[in-house]
Structure 1
Amino acid sequence: MSEIKLIALDMDGTLLTKEHQVSDRTKEAIAKALAKGVHVVLSTGRSLSTCYPYAQELNLASYLVTCNGGEIWTMEKELLEQHLLDTEIVEKIWHLGLELGVEMWMISTEGFLRGERPDNFYDYDWLKFGCDSEDTDKLARLVKELSYFAELEITNSLPTNIEINPKGVSKAKALERVCQKLDITMDNVMSVGDSLNDIKMIQEAGIGVAMGNAQEAIKKVANHITDTNDEDGVAKAIEHFVIESNRNG
């Protein structure tokens, strides 16, 4: 096993509890990892504005992977990479979602829209499109329709949603770029997540960790399953693979 030099953490369902907090034990484990010179990177479906305060709270100093890899930022808010959806396709997805009766939300470079459409889609640059429904049959029908668009990457962050990015965009691809910047490889990465938008970074990391509350597909590809997000699962993974491992080494 290669030495872990970077910890990539999904946020919702992983780093954060159900109350959207970082537990004290997790804060302590991250602080210990940072003190050992290990990079900690938030790798999230969230936009910069909704993940940056957590990065500040945790005293992170490396990079931020946002919008499922749609953007890579430094902690100085320098944009390193950006991948946009085609606006014409975004408008088509909106009409498909409207026909099926799913809740929709969109992330642009300007901010977040939920349940409403812009007056003009072409006034914005679009990073990600999301659809929510408790009716998984509706989501399945939407995924089938979207499969005809070759330009899309379709994942989820919950069993009750789908998330749409440009083709080829993933947290794993973004982390590969981060590794290049840091002169390390994905073998030096421990990735932790719970949903389909985490699956590639878990598969490609030196150590892929699934949360106890993760979707079954994630657990099947992970090297290790930790406890849930409400049972300090992230802290326990860091303690086991980074802090105790480094101490033993």
Structure 2
Amino acid sequence: MSNEIKLIISDIDGTLLTSQHLLTKNLVQTLQEIQALSIPFIAASARSPRGILPIAQKLGIQNNPLAAYNGALITTDGNLPLFSHPLPAAGKKLLKLIKKFFPTISLNVYSNADWYTDSHNKWIEIEATITKMQPIFLSFADLLRQDPIHKLLLIGDAVEITTLMNFLNTQELTDCAFYLSKENYLEITHKQVSKETVLHEMANFYAVPLQNVLTIGDNYNDLPMLKAAGLGIAMGNAPAPVKESADKVTATNDQDGVAKALKKYVLDSP
């Protein structure tokens, strides 16, 4: 298998990171072996570039492209855009609608590497703890002035977010796509954005045929890239439909699933 895999794309949360948001020593060592083979390893996540970069540095892959916001922004060093797919003008219209009809929802705007919000609440504190980032606090008027907008993250109670999703389904959201990344996290990006797009852009960038790409992930937003790659691997902690759609299933993120998959399918070692 080592002669076939020429490019690897991996999700981060629930995949590279344990349930305690940590990297294992085994995974770091395995990535060093992958790097020694000159096989590009791309971290793809809903996180911002600044949320990905510290993880990439610990893994030794910081010089590779980083796919942030599920591919809305791919950078070469955490800042310089390689590919950019910002929200259309409808994104700012959405912010106004949500502020008016759902005032308790936490509004989070991601523009390039920065995270902006207009209020401090428990959701902001939770997200800051997970991502090890701090937002830039702005007035709502200044929030609307941010450009480009690569992602909107809307956080609230699960019931609130479900109600918001139902509301958005009644709106004409041209060129916008939205999905739940958690039961209380609603993410909105350009409709062109997906991890499958990351797969195609990175395969073209490195001139690697899709059949020579390995992808690995743990959730529904990883499914498109798992299906499109030559070898799509689901984590053992992934939902059943994700595992059923993948080519292979590895151990969970708390059992070194990524390291085990890379050793088996790339390094040909036990």
TM-score (norm 2): 0.81
Which aligned segments of 4 or more residues in structure 1 are displaced greater than 6 angstroms? Answer: none
1:64 and 2:66 matched: yes
* Structure 2 equivalent of residue 111 of structure 1: 114
Determine the C-alpha separation between the residues in 1 that align with 2:112 and 2:183: 26
- Give me the whole-angstrom Cα distance separating, in 2, the residues matched to 1:104 and 1:142: 12
Aligned amino acid, residue 62 of structure 1: N
Work out whether 1:231 is the aligned partner of 2:252.
no
Structure 2 counterpart of 1:69, one-letter code: G
* Contact 2:234-2:250 within 8 A present in 1 as well: yes
Q: Which residue of 1 aligns with 2:20?
A: 19
Structure 2 gaps, min length 5: 120-138
- 1:2-41 CA distances to partner (integer Å, 9 max, x unpaired)? 8111111111111112332211111111111121222111
* Number of the residue aligned with 1:36: 37
Is the partner of 2:70 in helix, strand or coil?
A: helix
Rounded to whole Å, the distance in 2 between the matches of 1:8 and 1:90 is 31
Kindly provide the amino acid, as one letter, of the partner of residue 12 in structure 1: D
**Aligned residue pair count:** 245
Instruction: Tell me the alpha carbon deviations over residues 191-232 of structure 1, each in whole angstroms, 9 at most, x when there is no partner.
Output: 111223212111111111122222333223211222221211
Q: CA deviation at 1:165?
A: 0.6
Counterpart code for 1:206: G
Distance 2:155 2:107 in 1: 6
The residue number in structure 1 matching 2:200 is 176
The residue number in structure 2 matching 1:127 is: 150
| Residues 110/134 of structure 1: CA separation in 2 closer, same or farther (3 Å cut) | same
Shift of 1:172: 1.4
Residues 4 and 97 from structure 1, CA distance in 2 versus in 1: closer, same or farther, beyond 3 angstroms?
farther
Assess if the C-alpha contact under 8 Å between 1:171 and 1:197 holds in 2.
yes
Q: What's 1:48 paired with?
A: 49
2:177, 2:246 → 1: CA distance? Answer: 21
CA distance in 2, matches of 1:216, 1:124: 39
**Shift in CA distance, 184/104, structure 1 to aligned 2, threshold 3 Å:** same
Could you tell me which residue of structure 1 aligns to residue 168 of structure 2? Answer: 146
Q: Quote the sequence identity (%).
A: 28
The amino acid across from 2:75 in the alignment is W
CA contact (8 A) 2:109 2:117 kept: yes
Greater CA deviation, 188-197 or 76-85? Answer: 76-85
| 8 Å Cα contact 2:79-2:113 kept in structure 1 | no
> What letter matches 1:64 in structure 2?
L
User: What CA distance in whole angstroms lies between the structure 2 residues aligned with 1:238 and 1:94?
Assistant: 45
**Range with bigger deviation, 228-237 or 86-95:** 86-95
What is the distance in 1 between the residues matched to 2:79 and 2:166?
A: 37
| Equivalent pair of 1:132/1:162 in contact (CA under 8 Å) | yes
Partner of 2:127: none
TM-score calculated relative to the size of structure 1: 0.87
Where structure 1 has 5 or more consecutive residues not aligned to the other structure, the ranges are none
Which one of 172, 185, 189 corresponds to residue 213 of structure 2? 189
Change in 2 beyond 3 A, CA 1:140/1:220? farther
CA deviation map 1:59-112 (0-9, x unaligned)? 213221111111112248432111111344334245336634433322122611
Which whole-Å CA distance do the structure 2 matches of 1:94 and 1:209 have between them? 40
- CA distance, structure 2, for counterparts of residue 104 and residue 224 of structure 1: 37
Does the 8 Å contact 1:171/1:198 carry over to 2? yes
CA RMSD of aligned residues (A): 2.4
